[in-house]
Structure 1
Amino acid sequence: MGAGVNDSLACGPLDGMAIRTVSPALGAALLFGASTPLAKLLGLDVAPQLLAGLLYLGSGVGLAILMLARALLHRGQPESAVALNIPAKEIPWLAGAIVSGGVLGPVFLMSGLASTDAAAASLLLNVEGVLTAVIAWLVFKENADSQIVLGMATIVAGGVLLSLQPGTMSLSAGALLVVAACLCWAIDNNLTRKVSANDALLVACLKGLFAGVTNTGLALALGATMPAGSPLLATLVVGFAGYGLSLALFVVALRGLGTARTGAYFSVAPLFGVLISLALWPAAPGWTFWMATGLMAVGVWLHVRERHEHHHTHQPLEHAHRHTHDEHHRHAHDVAWDGHEPHAHPHRHAMLTHRHAHFPDVHHRHEH
């Protein structure tokens, strides 16, 4: 997992780069965590799969509208063409992520919920973060050291404690289906990382539309009834924020942090959900809440204090994404450039060897 390859793993302060890089992951967790109490606030009495489908559909439609508004605002600019283009070689990765996380994951979850109580399912959903990290470390060779592994374990332990209730430690066929859903989402997270250099809104929009149409269609085919106008609109809005904007931020975080670290930060989403629930329905939290909060805070602290630094070589690379002309983007422009940054256009990275602190971001997916 790359332990021992660091020339330096210092316990430095949380600097501006770390704050900018971590913020999208925590923002994604906040929005997704808020979606559960907000969906509960709507009081919809619909089949779980239909609710999931509508939330996904709201994310896809909302992001499509947002992308249309952006295109009209930046009409004629080179970035508009870049934003709507996904390289052909990356389409299989995106398709795999959509099928795994947008179709198979919800189907396994809804099938498992049919024979598993909500408390047990909530506990088992913590497996997603673990499986995401394990796949990232073992299959995609993302680097990790003992501090990152410990931070991940601490955050997951907090999530387990937050959802743990008496009598939830049974392993039934339904529980195995919930774990299968977590595996699908873990695969989804790792495959999405492969396309994270592309426009985050486009990636999240495609995933939302495909998952929304599929799950809504399956639910209606199985006899579910579509809610009325106002509740339907409210559900779509919650889906836009809690699934759409959250997923777009998640893609941005994958670009800057890598899969395992993004998954770890995203694992604090249940804590945000509980906090918002307490604000909506005030109650005195028990000792498990405070212990879970402490564990998750320690886990996040272990991650943000990371300093991974060593000599490394960047292989030649061609791609397109929003960037500034930092040490990794010292290139000329084939077309007239007005000096505006950040901007997006296809560009080529020459081979470069240097040393600096870095995350396993889109430019640092090297082996150790």
Structure 2
Amino acid sequence: MNLSVLYALVAAGLFGASTPLAKLLGVDTPPILLAGLLYLGSGVGLTLVRLVRDRGWQRPGLPAGEWPWLLGAILFGGVLAPVALMFGLTRTAGAAASLMLNLESVLTAVLAWVVFKENADRRIVIGMVAIVLGGIVLSWPQETATAHDWIGPLAVAFACLCWAIDNNLTRKVSASDALFIAGSKGLAAGVVNGGLALAIGSQLPALGTLGSILLVGFLGYGVSLVLFVLALRGLGSARTGAYFSTAPFLGAAVAILMLGESVSVTFLLAAALMALGVWIHLMENHVHEHQHEPLDHNHRHTHDEHHQHEHDFEWDGTAPHSHPHVHAPIRHSHAHFPDVHHRHRH
């Protein structure tokens, strides 16, 4: 299995598990405050990890041209989307909102293909449709539920669009430090959601519960987002979004294993559809002759056919390392994904 695919699936598993884990820990906190604290646990936790890794505060090293993409991702994914979702949930039936959240992966793929010109063949489209159908089946209401009005569902749809934009903008900076990217987005979303919750009168939970929420947020939102960024680096937006759409199924699986919830026919059908979609994606073999244009960026790499450059520092010749480097133009043919080195037109 491609390592980036594993990153995406583990990211989905961690994120999907966060809801039943919160339930297992007895978390009983207003939804807006809960979202804020989960994001805050993500942002603070990843920032501390980065400080330990770098032995103190270090400049993020983000190229000047990538800052607008990151700030745009934080605005859409960390500020606008959570607020829109929380507003939409107050005016939308829960079952309807769950169904509508499947829009995120669809809109992510549409933006990736139409706006950002990411490659997509018939196999990828069919696989994504199967995964999304599995999500719809899993979240389909067992009883008839209606939205309170059209404003709520529209707000939820807008939140999905914002996260889709966020995913595609994050792809633009995915070659940079994933800890900094994910930590920045977590802090922004945590401050916005937490501040909004406190402003409308929510009270912080007891210290023990607060610690549990922050820990779940660090793992389910923070570590998950780091892996999501790494997957974006290797797979592109549409494929990563499709794999991440398995999160509701993986969360339901955790609930069955840890909380003893029953296995329904709906769950088994969703599992079959999602497994089919993932299998279709794993069988992708995209090969053609393509041209690499000159590229100047910084990311962790080893020296393969795409990385042939000199160093102005000592290096053992084999270890993965990170430094600013320039890719010379090259034309060749091999199997590839729309990763940071393969963003060409077809």
**Shorter-normalised TM-score: what interval?**
over 0.9
Alpha-carbon deviation of 1:237? 0.3
Matched, 1:294 2:272: yes
Look up the SS of the partner of 2:201 in the other structure. Answer: coil
Matched, 1:23 2:6: yes
Measure the CA separation in 2 of the matches of 1:57 and 1:158: 30
Matched, 1:51 2:27: no
Alpha-carbon deviation of 1:169? 6.7
Structure 1 residues without counterparts, runs of 5 or longer: 1-17
CA separation of 1:116/1:150 partners in 2, compared to 1, >3 Å: closer, same or farther? same
Look up the SS of the partner of 2:333 in the other structure. Answer: strand
Structure-1 residue corresponding to 2:221: 243
Aligned residue pair count: 344
Look up the SS of the partner of 1:90 in the other structure. Answer: helix
Structure-2 residue corresponding to 1:315: 293
Measure the CA separation in 1 of the matches of 2:154 and 2:145: 13
Look up the SS of the partner of 1:198 in the other structure. Answer: coil
Q: TM-score, normalised by structure 2?
A: 0.96
Matched, 1:149 2:105: no
Measure the CA separation in 1 of the matches of 2:8 and 2:305: 24
Conserved in 1, the CA contact under 8 Å of 2:113 and 2:120? yes
What code does the residue aligned with 2:280 have? Answer: L
Look up the SS of the partner of 2:54 in the other structure. Answer: helix
Q: What pairs up with 1:1-368 in 2 under 5 angstroms?
A: 18-72=1-55, 84-165=60-141, 166-168=143-145, 172-368=150-346
Measure the CA separation in 2 of the matches of 1:125 and 1:21: 24
Structure 2 residues without counterparts, runs of 5 or longer: none
What code does the residue aligned with 2:205 have? Answer: P
Q: Which runs of 4+ in 1 moved over 3 A?
A: 168-171
Conserved in 2, the CA contact under 8 Å of 1:322 and 1:345? yes
What code does the residue aligned with 2:273 have? Answer: L
Q: Deviations over 1:121-150 (max 9, x none)?
A: 111111111000000000000000000000
Alpha-carbon deviation of 1:88? 1.4
What code does the residue aligned with 2:241 have? Answer: G
Alpha-carbon deviation of 1:168? 4.2
Alpha-carbon deviation of 1:338? 3.5
Please identify, of 208-217 and 358-367, the stretch whose mean Cα deviation from structure 2 is larger.
208-217
Alpha-carbon deviation of 1:25? 0.3
Measure the CA separation in 1 of the matches of 2:263 and 2:315: 56
The CA RMSD over aligned residues, in Å, is 1.5
Conserved in 2, the CA contact under 8 Å of 1:162 and 1:271? yes
Measure the CA separation in 2 of the matches of 1:154 and 1:266: 13
Measure the CA separation in 2 of the matches of 1:159 and 1:215: 26
Conserved in 1, the CA contact under 8 Å of 2:255 and 2:261? no
Alpha-carbon deviation of 1:47? 2.2
Measure the CA separation in 2 of the matches of 1:169 and 1:217: 30
Look up the SS of the partner of 1:197 in the other structure. Answer: coil
What code does the residue aligned with 1:234 have? Answer: S
Alpha-carbon deviation of 1:340? 5.0
CA separation of 1:169/1:161 partners in 2, compared to 1, >3 Å: closer, same or farther? farther
Conserved in 2, the CA contact under 8 Å of 1:123 and 1:168? no
Structure-2 residue corresponding to 1:6: none
What code does the residue aligned with 1:48 have? Answer: P
Conserved in 1, the CA contact under 8 Å of 2:93 and 2:146? no
Measure the CA separation in 2 of the matches of 1:101 and 1:350: 34
Please identify, of 51-60 and 167-176, the stretch whose mean Cα deviation from structure 2 is larger.
167-176
Look up the SS of the partner of 1:348 in the other structure. Answer: strand
Measure the CA separation in 2 of the matches of 1:284 and 1:58: 31
Percent identity of equivalent pairs = 61
What code does the residue aligned with 2:331 have? Answer: T
Conserved in 2, the CA contact under 8 Å of 1:35 and 1:273? yes
What code does the residue aligned with 2:42 have? Answer: S
What code does the residue aligned with 2:114 have? Answer: L
Please identify, of 284-293 and 262-271, the stretch whose mean Cα deviation from structure 2 is larger.
284-293
What code does the residue aligned with 1:68 have? Answer: L
Alpha-carbon deviation of 1:89? 1.0
Look up the SS of the partner of 1:192 in the other structure. Answer: helix
Look up the SS of the partner of 1:321 in the other structure. Answer: strand
Measure the CA separation in 2 of the matches of 1:21 and 1:190: 16
